[in-house]
Structure 1
Amino acid sequence: MKILLMEDELHLRQNIKKFLTIKGYKVDDFENGEQLLKYANLHDYDCMILDVNTPEIDGFEVLEYIRENDILTPTIFISALTDVEKVLKAFELGAADYLKKPFDLAELEARMLRTNPKKSINSYIRLDENFNYNLQNRTLLKNEIPSKLSSIQKKFLYLLIKNQNKLVTFDMLRDYVWDGKEISHGTILSTTRDLKKTLPDSFIQNVKGEGYIGVIQTIK
């Protein structure tokens, strides 16, 4: 899942982002609504977490704008406000949930998944005892910690995962990973070699002269 987070309290924003990132989510965070509306691609998220009281443009105004533009992404408000009228306003604007501060980060994740259950089902593909792949945010996890991959490596791995146990040809790699550019065979070999260093030993298997297979075996 890809998450949009708006929270003006720096320490809380950092803690939420760190927690969700470790859990395998991709998080774009913003301090206030003005910054969010200027830089975020609002169509690119599975869930939005918005603080109510932020400088310049607050959470309510952000959600109003989002809904006026027919963006129906599930949204959770987080706030220290306990005023019933504020809570009711959040739901009137189309919020999926309202979480009062202070809260446990595990509860935030649980509420987040509840707003978008389809995104939490079958999201993880187990590669071996130590490695998992989050298909929704295209993240490789080793012992639950996200691995650092380049954009090319991420696209390469995603293509192998999506075609697991099937041949991915060199032409398929050029078309998807390098956007159809004329790159040398050596570039593909070099990328494969570097990617193998971050994966289980038996995952990428070479098919001589044709391409590669990402092998995922059933793990009992």
Structure 2
Amino acid sequence: MKILLLEDELEYQESVSEYLTSLGYEVDAVGDGVAACDKIASGFYHLFILDIKVPNINGFEVIKYIKSLNIDTPIMIMTSLVDINDMAIGYELGCNEYLKKPFELAELKFRVGELMRKYYSVDDKSVVLLNGDFSFNTNKRTLLKNGSMIDLSAKELELVEYLVSNLDAYVSIPELKEQVWENKDIEEADIRMHVLKIRNKTSSEFITSKRRIGYKIDAKKV
């Protein structure tokens, strides 16, 4: 499972990143808010761990950015701020856990583990089985193959999500422009490029295309 860590204090960043990696998590660590937003825009994470007092834009602004993208990934604030007003702001913005510095690594392990169990327990009703041993969790908005997550950009995820919502049926280019790209000026070649990138991350047969008809994703054949 993949975690984005925003922490500008190098000692904390290195120790937390190394510890979480030793527990089996994949960690992307950044030291400022702008870099965090860039990472969020380009890939999927199972958990955000955010310090508040960081350069460029603070952790509260990063949370606002996450919510503006309608991302429901759990958020943990990890900070030395202990004022009740700061805590209230964090929870009001949508954070799910608050870890005060300094802390024991064992406490970090427990809190991360609890969030992962709470948000990523398997609910069969939310899992759509797809052709080629792939599955899509509609609640968590994650694409997996044999239980391993496929790392998609935000727009790639939207495209897969829309095709899954129209399972086994071709979706036309004009419909994709309207529903996924919200009628923005995008060339058909750009849509084909997104499809190609998804196929490169999955398989050449994951998204089926038919000339002048569109694209589709097939349900798992029983």
Q: Which TM-score band applies after superposition, normalised by the shorter structure?
A: 0.5 to 0.7
Question: How far has the Cα of 1:157 moved from its partner?
Answer: 1.6
Closer/same/farther in 2, CA of residues 61 and 129 from structure 1, 3 Å limit: farther
Determine whether 1:140 maps to 2:143: yes
CA distance in structure 1 between the partners assigned to 2:114 and 2:88 by the alignment: 21
| Cα distance change, pair 38–156 in 1 and its aligned pair in 2 (3 A) | closer
Q: Of the candidates 62, 75, 89, which is equivalent to residue 48 of structure 1?
A: 75
> Structure 1 length normalisation: TM-score?
0.61
Alpha-carbon contact 2:50-2:77 (below 8 Å) kept: no
1:191 aligns with 2:213: no
Q: Map 1:32-181 onto structure 2 (within 5 A).
A: 32-33=52-53, 35-41=58-64, 44=67, 45-51=72-78, 54=80, 57-58=81-82, 61-67=85-91, 69=92, 71=93, 74-75=96-97, 77=99, 101-103=105-107, 105=109, 107-113=110-116, 115=118, 121-122=123-124, 124-127=127-130, 131-142=134-145, 145-181=148-184
Asked if the contact 1:130/1:143 (under 8 Å) is kept, the reply is yes
Q: Distance in 1 between matches of 2:51 and 2:114?
A: 22
In the alignment, the residues of structure 1 paired with residue 194 and residue 66 of structure 2 have an alpha-carbon distance, to the nearest angstrom, of 31
Contact 1:128 1:200 in 2 (8 A): no
TM-score of the pair, normalised by structure 2: 0.60
Q: Deviations over 1:97-155 (max 9, x none)?
A: xxx641584x54541156558x8534554435654444445443456554444444332
8 A contact 2:136–2:143 mirrored in 1: yes
Cα distance, 1:176 vs structure 2? 2.8
Gaps of 5+ in 1: 82-99
Kept in 2, the 8 Å contact 1:132–1:142? The answer is yes
Q: Distance in 1 between matches of 2:118 and 2:95?
A: 9
1:88 matched residue in structure 2? none
1:19 aligns with 2:36: no
For the residue of structure 2 that corresponds to 1:40, the secondary structure is helix
Aligned length: 193
Q: Which runs of 5+ in 2 are unaligned?
A: 29-43
Cα distance per residue 1:137-186 (max 9 Å; x no partner):
54434565544444443322221122222332222211133331343434
Alignment RMSD: 4.2
* Structure number with larger C-alpha Rg: 1
Task: Classify the secondary structure of the residue corresponding to 1:156.
Answer: helix
> What residue is the counterpart of 1:85 in the other structure?
none
